[in-house]
């Protein structure tokens, strides 16, 4: 779960990492107040999309009056599909140099990784590998001050900056660990008046660890439909096609989306109805697909723990209640397959037993694909 | 023969009195798994399908000589369960739960390395050795049969799809290993491939991968010296960047973890890479006849 910039900054400040003076802005009056207090400021839209500067999500205000007008224009504006509800007013900085630092998890080495570079201010992917210093953390030891000193030395930092940097590494790792972060990043890590300051920050929390962070504000990303399906407890991603898809298990759902595309169709979504979903959630998921008004609905089930008769019951339930007004293609094999297929046949739905012809048929019914 | 899990493995079930624990204990026993005990604090002296229940792993190991354990407890308690198993001499731990915090998985895997424990998962369907008639996991029993193919997969249902197509196509399996869908898991493709390399009965391997991370790219490096035919199928071709595709680990982040990168690496390493799951059997037939 991504955190807004102002929350990431708060987390840094709580650990004693210097951040620029700033204030959260909910109304145009707040913006005027903020500039009165901190002077000329950047007004930054608090949305979870990258590249907000280029999209008009960061604007500058010299006077309280200008801040009021700018905030008026920004609040409620649409930024890459997200409505701007809050701004963060932050004092304009006189930046001398821009560095980079982050703590994240190295999936291959299975330990935390600290990355730093003297070439900050751009996405780290655009920085040459030779300019990035990487140090891996032994999770049993954590990050002690020596770890930061070594890193500062590798970067070639001297004097005050080296000292401040070493100190900052320890604090940043503390945030990573205490907050169950997937990523905590300061970019740019600015040099202002000869001292380090976090000019921009990202903090992503591990979704699986949210149960032990009750006080962290829940920020749901995604479209209204994605949020709705997530509330049912299912994994869902909106795509831009018109063949609605449901499968059981994440891998199967991905493969099903791929299969539709393979035959030249346009998948409308990724929906994992769960490795062992029962009638009710499956019916709820199918309801969502119907509500999307797709050209075709394709259900692809390999019943392992999921029982085919449960899936069939869910399909019939939705057919009888909401109704399924578009063509439906069902592929159903595995546990209780005979019972499931029989139930569907009674309702006039024939099921496929192989994935390929079923996916091809779905594409054909949508009037897409290779002819 | 088989890798990691054999008929001699004596299995405990942690969280045996929960819904999942009960259901899958029954399924494992039906398959032939040597389940010797269950753990459920406060429920000792109960039985689940004839399997004795203990309060602690320590007790269970003392009474049964167990050396493997499968964990079904809810994710927030999974770290505790894994450590209880490892600290009491269990040498194979299968972690079924999804949504275990990554920090907990890091701690589990780090300790496992110190102790020489094999951790499978978290967020896995488990491991099954059809020739040995034993499994630790939640996979359906009827889709596998004994044979010469090793399978290592990141996802559950997709691996069922492929295992079943192998079985129908005449290719039985030595062992099928589920690495798990999380960002940090106990096994890598490489660690499992090493076992398949040493196993004389495993003649070829099927890898089932997906977008996210770089486990497939790392595996490609190893495949150059693997010496047995490998067929790979990867899911997530149509996945948009920045979106988690069901599994916590299945995400293209900042340009990394794409399917193209993985397929390119595996192809360059000599693996036969197919685009769709139903193409695996033909590719395997071709690869094993060379």
Model confidence over B63-103: pLDDT tens digits? 999 999 999 999 999 999 999 999 999 999 999 999 999 99
Residue A370 above 70 pLDDT?
no
Between A282 and B31, the higher pLDDT residue: B31
Q: What is the pLDDT of residue A55?
A: 87
Q: CB distance from A214 to chain B under 8 Å? A: no
Residues 107-126 in B contacting A (C-alpha not used; CB under 8 Å): 107, 109-110, 125
| ipTM score assigned to the predicted complex | 0.91
pLDDT at B73: 96
- Chain B CB within 8 Å of residue A113 CB: no
Quote the pLDDT of residue B254.
Answer: 79
Q: How far is A356 from chain B (nearest CA, A)?
A: 7
Label residue A282 by pLDDT band (50, 70, 90). confident
**How far is Cα B277 from Cα B288, in angstroms, rounded to an integer?**
18
Pair of tokens at residue B120? 């499978």
C-alpha distance from A261 to closest chain B C-alpha (Å): 7
- pLDDT for A230: 83
Cis peptide before B122 (omega within 30 of 0): yes
pLDDT at A222 over 80: no
- Model confidence at A275, in pLDDT bands (50, 70, 90)? low
pLDDT above 90 (res B271): yes
Closest CA to A205 of A177, A183, A225: A183
The fraction of chain B above a pLDDT of 90, given in percent, is 88
Cα separation, A39 vs B2, whole angstroms: 70
Q: pLDDT at position A277, please?
A: 67
Is the per-residue pLDDT at A59 higher than 80?
yes
Residue B272 burial by Cβ neighbours in a 10 Å radius (0-12, 13-18, 19+):
buried
The yes-or-no verdict on residue B216 having pLDDT over 70 is yes
In angstroms, what CA-CA distances link B105 with A213, A355, B81, B122, B204?
17, 35, 12, 8, 30
Looking at residues A244-272, what average pLDDT do you find? 95
Q: What percent of chain A has pLDDT over 70?
A: 99
Q: What is the pLDDT of residues A96-122, one digit of tens each?
A: 999 999 999 999 999 999 999 999 988
Which of A180, A252, A258 minimises the CB distance to B157? A252
**Pair of tokens at residue B230:** 């490998």
Q: Please name the residue that has the structure tokens 């708060």.
A: A10
> What mean pLDDT comes out for the span B140-169?
95
Taking 80 as the threshold, does the pLDDT of residue A257 lie above it?
yes
Report yes or no: A297 and A272 within 8 Å, Cβ to Cβ.
Answer: no
Q: What percent of chain B shows pLDDT beyond 70?
A: 100
Task: Please indicate if any CB of chain B lies within 8 Å of the CB of A141.
Answer: no
Nearest CA in chain B to A261: B238
Grade residue A276 by pLDDT with cuts at 50, 70 and 90.
Answer: low
Partner residue opposite B235 with nearest CB, options A111, A235, A251: A251
- State the Cα–Cα distance between residues B189 and B152, nearest whole angstrom: 7
How far is B13 from B73, CA to CA, in rounded Å? Answer: 10
CB A185 within 8 A of CB A201: yes
Query: For residue A12, what are its two tokens?
Result: 């840094």
For residue range B168-214, list pLDDT tens digits in order: 999 999 999 999 999 999 999 999 999 999 999 999 999 999 999 99
Q: State how far the Cα of B248 lies from the Cα of B226, in Å rounded to an integer.
A: 29
- Provide the mean pLDDT of chain A: 93
Report whether A50 contacts A200 (CB < 8 A).
no
Please check whether residue B27 touches A, CB under 8 A. Answer: no
pLDDT band at A369 (very low <50, low <70, confident <90, very high): confident
Residues 6 or more apart from A304 whose CB is under 8 A from it? A275, A276, A334, A335, B125, B138, B139, B140, B143, B156, B157, B160
Cβ–Cβ gap A267/B103 under 8 Å:
no
Judged by a CB distance cut-off of 8 A, whether residue B103 touches chain A is yes
pTM of the model: 0.92
Q: What is the pLDDT of residues B121-138, one digit of tens each?
A: 999 999 999 999 999 999
Other Cβ atoms within 10 Å of B281 Cβ, number: 20
Cα A342 from Cα A315, distance rounded (Å):
13
Pairing, β A87-91 against β A22-25: antiparallel
Residues A133, A176, A169, B83, CA torsion sign: negative
pLDDT at B290: 61
Tokens of B279: 């193409």
Minimum-distance CB partner of A107 among B183, B237, B240: B183
Residue B64, token pair as written in the block: 């049964």
């Amino acid at each position: 779960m991504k955190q807004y910039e102002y929350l990431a900054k708060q987390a840094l400040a709580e650990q004693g990492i210097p951040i620029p003076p700033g204030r959260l802005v909910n109304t145009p009056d707040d913006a005027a107040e903020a500039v009165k207090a901190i002077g000329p400021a950047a007004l930054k839209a608090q949305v979870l999309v990258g590249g907000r500067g280029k999209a008009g999500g960061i604007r500058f205000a010299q006077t309280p009056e200008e801040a009021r007008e700018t905030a008026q224009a920004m609040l409620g504006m649409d930024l890459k599909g997200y409505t701007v509800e809050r701004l963060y007013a932050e004092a304009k900085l006189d930046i001398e140099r821009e560095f980079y630092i982050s703590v994240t998890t190295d999936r291959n080495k299975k330990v935390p990784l600290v990355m730093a570079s003297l070439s900050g201010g751009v996405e780290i992917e655009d920085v040459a590998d030779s300019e990035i210093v990487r140090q891996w953390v032994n999770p049993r030891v954590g990050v002690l001050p020596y770890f930061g000193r070594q890193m500062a030395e590798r970067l070639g930092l001297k004097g005050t900056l080296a000292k401040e940097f070493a100190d900052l590494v320890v604090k940043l790792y503390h945030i990573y660990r205490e907050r169950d972060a997937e990523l905590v990043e300061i970019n740019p890590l600015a040099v202002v008046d000869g001292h380090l300051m976090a000019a921009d920050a990202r903090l992503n929390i591990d979704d699986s660890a949210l149960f032990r962070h009750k006080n962290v504000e829940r920020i749901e990303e995604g479209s209204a439909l994605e949020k709705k399906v997530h509330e049912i407890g299912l994994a869902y991603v909106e795509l831009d096609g018109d063949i609605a898809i449901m499968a059981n298990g994440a891998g199967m759902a991905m493969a099903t989306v791929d299969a539709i595309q393979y035959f030249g169709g346009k998948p409308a979504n990724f929906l994992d109805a769960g490795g062992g979903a029962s009638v009710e959630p499956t019916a709820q998921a199918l309801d969502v697909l119907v509500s999307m008004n797709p050209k075709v609905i394709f259900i692809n089930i390999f019943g392992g723990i999921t029982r085919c008769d449960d899936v069939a019951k869910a399909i019939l339930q939705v057919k009888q209640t909401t109704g399924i007004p578009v063509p439906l293609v069902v592929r159903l094999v595995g546990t209780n397959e005979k019972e499931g297929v029989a139930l569907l046949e009674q309702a006039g739905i024939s099921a496929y037993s192989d994935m390929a012809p079923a996916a091809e048929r779905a594409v054909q019914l949508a009037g897409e694909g290779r002819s | 023969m088989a890798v990691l899990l054999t008929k001699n493995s004596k299995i405990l079930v942690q969280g045996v009195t929960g819904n999942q624990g009960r259901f899958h204990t029954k399924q494992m026993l039906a398959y032939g798994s040597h389940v010797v005990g269950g753990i459920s604090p406060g429920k000792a002296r109960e039985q689940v399908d004839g399997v004795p229940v203990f309060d602690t792993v320590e007790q269970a190991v003392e009474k049964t000589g167990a050396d493997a354990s499968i964990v079904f407890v809810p994710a927030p308690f999974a770290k505790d369960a894994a450590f209880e198993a490892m600290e009491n001499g269990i040498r194979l731990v299968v972690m079924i739960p999804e949504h275990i915090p990554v920090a907990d998985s890091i701690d589990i895997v780090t300790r496992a390395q110190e102790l020489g424990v094999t951790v499978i998962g978290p967020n896995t369907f488990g491991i099954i050795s059809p020739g040995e008639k034993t499994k630790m996991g939640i996979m359906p029993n009827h889709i596998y049969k004994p044979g010469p193919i090793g399978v290592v997969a990141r996802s559950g249902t997709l691996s069922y799809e492929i295992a079943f197509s192998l079985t129908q196509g005449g290719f039985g399996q030595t062992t099928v290993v589920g690495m798990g869908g999380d960002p940090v898991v106990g096994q890598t493709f490489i660690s499992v491939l090493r076992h398949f390399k040493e196993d004389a009965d495993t003649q070829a391997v099927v890898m089932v991968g997906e977008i996210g991370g770089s486990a497939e790219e790392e595996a490609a490096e190893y495949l150059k010296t693997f010496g047995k035919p490998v067929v790979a199928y990867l899911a997530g071709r149509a996945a948009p960047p920045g979106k988690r595709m069901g599994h916590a680990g299945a995400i293209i982040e900042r340009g990394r973890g794409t399917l193209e990168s993985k397929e390119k690496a595996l192809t360059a390493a000599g693996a036969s890479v197919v685009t769709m799951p139903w193409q695996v059997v033909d590719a395997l037939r071709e690869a094993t006849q060379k």
